[in-house]
Structures are given as structure tokens and as C-alpha cells.
Amino acid sequence: MGASGAHFAICRRGLLMPAPYRHEIIAADNGTLARFIFHAENASHVAPHWHKSLEISYTLRGSISGFTINGKTYATAPGQILVVNPSEVHGVVSRSPEVTEALTVIFPYQQLLNTIPELDTLSFNAHSPLNFSRQQHKAYRKLQQLLKQAAMLTRRCAPDCGDTLLLNALAYQILYWLRRAFAHNKNKYLYQNANPSEKMIRITEWLDSHFHERVSMADVASRFYLSESWLAHRFRQNVGRTFHEYLVSLRLNAAMTLLFDSDLQVQTIAERCGFPNFKSFVYYFKQAHGMTPLQYRKSRR
């Protein structure tokens, strides 16, 4: 799902290149806390994939017959909430004679981490209403109300500024109730005992926080006690793109945000986002978006 996509439009989520479990890079739009996506369809197929963002699925009408999270499949009913934690593998295979309406809310990892610094030690679980405490039942009903309100706003393909502000306010309220009633501490696994997929998750998490620095595959391989050849092979296999392609995409996403939200000079943005020089920034930006960074900035203002 690209950073340039319409953020409140009715749409289906795009995926990256084929891999055992596909990885999505989810960038924030215009500094908002979350993305809201409204779905209305008879059939849906989203291949198993993962991302570091927190995702909420809320069924308004009909049923999602097969929503799988970490190997467990759920069949939803109207009013049901599913939570996909960061880095959990999930996918959808659903078909219904009637139109199913659902809302997806995605909290990009970095924005979420800025809001909840202890995010990496938490896991969210709202899948078992039968086992809820009184407080959790109250929080669940509140979440249903907030998500229903967000869905009504998101149906509009071109919301005005007021709707955008309200959706952002709803995002904070949704996160508040989720954190208050459904967050649990989790034991962080030790890297030495991690399987290859878990190692790749740790590596991409590190890159997400250090892409603006001078980073090479040799440095990362050394930091994580791996050979360059192993890292190159597993990175392409697990993430669906090369190490270099992934690093450039992170830098471009960060640059797009600064081009839109700041008045920094384009050359300064290139430096802050980790590009080795201004020429390489312009080259990769034009290759990805068909225009120069300055042209992009002018087109958005």
C-alpha cells in the first residue's frame, strides 16, 4: 500500500512482490495516526502477509468467512472486531452471496511507537468476548461505537478537512480503549533463538529506525551475526524485494512526508533521509514516482 494512495477512499489493499509471507510497507499519510479503509464486496482474497503496523478489522454487515491470523481462522459476524498485532501473518479468503461491509484501520508502526513507547512489549487481544471482564465488555462496546462512526465517515471517498480531523480524533480514541482494556505484556524472544523469519522481522525493524543513517548490507549482516550471502538471499525471499530496494523505499517514504509537511530544502531532506547524495535522491524519487522531489512538492501544494 503506497504512501501516495488515497487514504480514505474505498479500496482494496495492494501487496508487494511474491514471498513466502508477503511484507507490506505501510507509510503514514500527512502525519495522521491511522488509515481507514472501507470495504464493500461479495468476495475478498488477501494473500498471507505481514507488516509491523497494528491492524483492526471491524465487520459492519455480512460476514468475513475466512480471516486468518497466525494460523487461526475466524468467521466474523456484524459488530465483531479482530486485531492483528505487529508482525503477525494474516490473510483473508472470503466469499458471500451478499455484500459484506467492513472497515480496516491501520496504525503505521512508527506513529504507533511514538504514541505508545512500550509498543514492542505489548500484544493486543480482543478475539474472545466470552472471556471478557466487565471492563473489557464496556471497552468493546465503546470500540464498536467508534469504529461504526469511523466507517460512516470513511464511506465518503473525498472527505473534507473536518472529516479528516474527526477521523484522526477517532483513531486516538480507538487506540486508547484498545490499550486500556486489551493490551497484554509479552516476553520478547531472544534473537539467538529466533527462526529465520523472526530474524528478518528484527532486521527490518532495525532498518525502520536507522534508514536515515549510513547503512550497508555488510554492516547489517555483521550486526546480526549473519553472512552477507545469507542475508541477501533470505531478505529477498522473506521481504519480497532486495535489501537495497527496501532501504530506498524507506528513505523515499520518509522523504515524501517531509516534502509534504515541511519547508525544508530538498537537499536537506535528502540528507536527513539517508541518501548518500542529492543526485541519488532525485534519481530514485523520479524512478519511483515519475517526477522530481520538487515537482512532487509543488503538485501537493
CATH classification of the domain holding 203: 1.10.10.60
The answer to whether residue 24 scores a pLDDT higher than 70 is no
95 and 235 inside one domain? no
**Rounded Cα–Cα distance for residues 219 and 108 (Å):** 26
Beta bridge partners of 94: 44
The boundaries of the domain holding residue 237 are 196-300
55 near 174, Cβ under 8 Å?
no
148 near 56, Cβ under 8 Å?
no
The answer to whether residue 126 scores a pLDDT higher than 60 is yes
**Other CB atoms within 10 A of residue 77 CB:** 10
**Per-chain mean pLDDT for the chain:** 84
Predicted TM-score (pTM) of this structure:
0.58
Mean pLDDT lowest among 12-16, 65-69, 165-169: 12-16
Condensed to tens digits (0 to 9), the pLDDT of residues 38-88 reads 998 888 888 899 999 999 999 999 999 999 998 899 999 999 999 999 989
169 and 265 inside one domain? no
36 near 212, Cβ under 8 Å?
no
212 and 156 inside one domain? no
50 and 169 inside one domain? yes
Of residues 93 and 121, more confidence is placed in 93
DSSP codes, 180-231:
HHHEEE-PPPPGGG--HHHHHHHHHHHHHHHTTS---HHHHHHHTT--HHHH
Q: How many domains would you assign to the chain? A: 2
Beta bridge partners of 39: 102
> What mean pLDDT is predicted for residues 134-156?
94
